[in-house]
Amino acid sequence: MKKIMADEKLAEMALADPKRVKRVLANRQSAARSKERKMRYIVELEQKVQILQTEATTLAAQINLLQLTDGSNSMAQRDSSAVATQNNELRFRLQAMEQQAQLRDALNEALTGEVQRLKIATIELGIGDSCSSNGMAQQHNLMFQQQQQLQQATPIPFYQLQHQQQQQQQQQNGTASKHESRE
């Protein structure tokens, strides 16, 4: 009633149509409540915006951290694969070196056996014969040089070893046939 008396228009309407005044007042109260609800809703939305902004900032920081971690993981994976490749290369080189060592050992044994055979052959033929002695001395020197080459770091391929042995045998056969033809 105080509101009706405060507003002159409502006071005039109250005299003419009291129900209409009640409706106007009810509408005004409803509008006030609606405005209040709207304000509360706006405040709640502002709070949610602040919370979501905080979460977004936190998530962005986590994403950056994960990207850095993934980047370091991918670098570690690249480093790991490079190390694995290098490891494989070194294994192949080691195998090749082991094979060269085995070939050198086999060549050394073959040459040592040949030297022994030549020593026995020179003893059997007799050291006094100058032709065979010179031929044997040359072969002995050749064998000694080959043995020195073998002990050095440069390996002789197997096919060269076979070729050298064949040449030595041909030289021996040639000197032996010359020696036999003289007798």
Whole-number Å distance between alpha carbons of 91 and 1: 103
| Whole-number pLDDT of residue 128 | 47
Q: Binning pLDDT at 50, 70 and 90, where does residue 12 land?
A: confident
For residue 47, pLDDT beyond 90: yes
| Whole-number pLDDT of residue 81 | 85
Q: Are 10 and 4 in contact (CB under 8 A)?
A: yes
pLDDT tens digits, one per residue of 147-163: 766 666 455 555 565 66
pLDDT tens digits, one per residue of 87-113: 889 899 899 999 999 999 999 998 998
| Whole-number pLDDT of residue 163 | 66
SS3 152: coil
Q: Could you tell me which residue, 50 or 146, shows the higher pLDDT?
A: 50
Q: Which residue has the tokens 């490079």?
A: 82
Question: Domain extents for the chain?
Answer: 2-182
| Whole-number pLDDT of residue 146 | 72
Whole-number Å distance between alpha carbons of 103 and 148: 15
Mean per-residue pLDDT, 131-146 = 65
Q: Could you tell me which residue, 8 or 174, shows the higher pLDDT?
A: 8
Q: Are 123 and 102 in contact (CB under 8 A)?
A: no
| Whole-number pLDDT of residue 160 | 63
